[in-house]
Chain A
Amino acid sequence: MIERLAKYRWQYVMILPGAILLLLFSYIPMVGIQVAFKDFHIGSTMWSSEWVGLENFSFLQDEQFWIVVKNTIYIAILKFVFGFPAPIMLALLINEVKNNKYKRFVQSVSYLPHFFSWIVVAYILQSLLTLDGGLVNQLIEKFGGDSVFFLGSTEWFRPMIVVSGLWKEVGWNTILYLAAITTIDPQLYEAARVEGAGRLAQIRNITLPGIMPTISIVLILSMPGLIAVGMDQIYPLMNPANQPVADVLDTYILRNGLQQGYFGMATAVGLLSSVISLILVLCTNQMARKFNGEGLW
């Protein structure tokens, strides 16, 4: 055994830095979850602070917390309902374009927003929607309407999050579908045309079934990220005016933990959301086994 280990000594040396980083930044924080049951203050260590039982879980009685849960679920569902089918439809549309140059142009342009940070997207929204000189409000006023404070309104917040999410990622998410479409046998389309199938019939009977495996994989892979509805997207756009609908689990943890120093309580909330996403991952893997005969691991 020792001989075999020695034979692979270089491999172990190469794996070591990565393994140490995982230990430091993934495993020790997992042990750090005990802070959820402790009275922790910055300055003390997670070992030295005192156990307080379930005291940190008192947020469960906090009305605000349940609003946050509701917001999280609401936004997660909205983003999924609009965000999941959109790239499939876009891929089908792009695939129908006959001019190859135009096709490539559309693809390049639609991928672009994926490479900008959510901060840049927040600026784009601000520049278009703000009250003082924002483009959309200028147009509304021109046509005799009253300007709307989109960025600080509770009604417009969710549509704004959904639309900006679509705008940023829809093109990017078509890549896999478009790749899947190119692997479909062209003879199938020819045969269908001979039989007199129109474009729509071809899409329904050939293209869609052809990309079904890809659709199911993307569906499965999107499940675990479902409740991580994006501090990255929401935090920059959140302000006191829209907070009643904008506050989600991630921003709640951030505000109570890092900004106000309730480390124990914020860790407890984080623990809950980690457990929920773990359950989603495990269910997903079961689903994958059913669909594909093979799990993701």
Chain B
Amino acid sequence: MRSSVRERVGQTIIVFLLALLCISVIYPFLYMLAVSLNVGSDAAKGGVYLWPREFTLYNYEVVLGNSVIQHAYLITISRTIVGTFVGLLITLLAAYGLSYRSLPFRKSLLGYVLITMLFSGGLIPLYIQLHHLSLLNSFWVYIIPSAFSAWNMFVMMKFIQGIPEALIESAEIDGANPVRILFVIIMPLSKPMLAAIGLFTAVGHWNDWFSGAFYVSDQSLIPVQTFLQQLLSAQDISTVLGSNNNQEALARGTMLSNVTLMSIKMATVMVSALPILCVYPFLQKYFVKGVLIGSVKG
């Protein structure tokens, strides 16, 4: 009897601690949401904690109506789609080719990949190389340099090697060439792995701000996260809105005085985070699976 009381107390403490953790994750988003849905000048007085006090969608109208942000979104979406597709394809092709255990020079080729995981030239030599290849200030700087991932390649290769060889052999006897085998047999069997790695790649593209900040100087090429990074330390609203027809609209409206830098910032960051918040519940099982696949070799 006594131990069961103790257990119940223990359970309560654990449940409480974990609830605190969950609140610490969820609350900042609720807070930012509330601030972004509040009239800026009112929110600046403080006291908005959970619920907007003077509700408005105006912050979002300004953010979503801004052509700089719209364009940054376009860049982010295109690079995520193209980058994920190209990255998965090139990495899968190499993983499949290297999964043949009897491939001549296989060991040397694996070593060739492995060395790049151990040592790198560093940021500056890479930058110089991007410059020589004329990739700086081009959309392709987001896609090409990161299209092959050594880490994902090893994970994929291990996974493919787990597929029964008898399947591949019987297809070979039927006269299928490796390309056909890859698309007809390997790919359908690798769906969970492709889903998981594809999601990680996509999230990586969505969240990358670095290449937009340093490999690109043309403002029309920056993705959303780089825009956010520039906005983070902005001191006044014009930095955000730029020389944009939005400003005219703002000037005409009486709302201008009600927008603050903070309320605009919160609306912008919510707009960039919402897609991930929305897809997260559906993709969660793949994320977990992905980590576990990745740790098979350990």
Interface residues in chain A, defined as those with a beta carbon under 8 Å from any beta carbon in chain B: 1, 4-5, 8, 10-15, 17-19, 21-22, 24-33, 35, 40, 42, 45-46, 90, 93-94, 96-99, 102, 105-106, 108-113, 115-120, 122-124, 126-128, 130, 132-133, 135, 138, 167, 171-172, 175-176, 179, 198-199, 217, 231-232, 236, 239, 250, 253-254, 257-258, 263, 266-267, 270-271, 273-274, 278, 281-282, 297
Contacts and interface: CB of A to CB of B under 8 A. Distances in A.
Interface stretch (B63-71, B202-210, B241-249, B250-258): B202-210
Nearest to B44: A133
A106 B22 contact: yes
B103 to A, nearest CB: 5
B232 interface: yes
A19 to B, nearest CB: 7
A108 B284 contact: yes
B229 interface: yes
A172 B28 CA distance: 18
Contacts of A113: 25
Contacts of B18: 93-94, 97, 102, 106
Contacts of A40: 128
A90 B113 CA distance: 35
Contacts of A1: 104
B177 A32 contact: no
A96 B14 contact: yes
A257 B189 CA distance: 46
Contacts of A14: 93-94, 96-97, 178-179, 182
A156 B243 CA distance: 37
Nearest to A123: B269
A15 B98 contact: yes
Range, interface on chain B: 35 or more
B121 A10 contact: no
A25 B269 contact: no
B171 interface: no
Given A98-B11, A267-B125, A278 B94 contact: no
A146 B288 CA distance: 44
A18 B148 contact: yes
Interface of B: 3, 7, 10-11, 14-15, 17-18, 21-22, 24-26, 28-29, 31-32, 35, 43-47, 49, 90-91, 93-94, 96-98, 100, 103-104, 109, 112-114, 116, 118-129, 131-133, 144-145, 147-148, 150, 153, 177-179, 182, 203, 206-210, 214, 225, 228-229, 232-233, 262, 265-266, 269, 272-273, 276, 280-281, 284, 287-288, 291-292, 295, 298
Contacts, number: 253
Nearest to B136: A42
Contacts of B15: 97, 99, 102
B128 A35 contact: yes
A176 B291 contact: yes
6 contacts: A24-B133, A26-B121, A35-B125, A94-B18, A105-B22, A116-B276
A270 B113 CA distance: 21
A123 B125 contact: no
A250 to B, nearest CB: 8
Given A22-B116, A35-B125, A110 B232 contact: no
B128 A128 contact: no
A17 B144 CA distance: 11
A175 to B, nearest CB: 5
A254 B128 contact: no
A96 B10 contact: yes
A271 B265 contact: no
Contacts of B43: 133
A32 B100 contact: no
B272 to A, nearest CB: 7
A1 B104 CA distance: 9
Ranked nearest first, the 4 interchain pairs of A and B with the lowest CB-CB distance are A270-B122, A32-B125, A29-B121, A18-B94
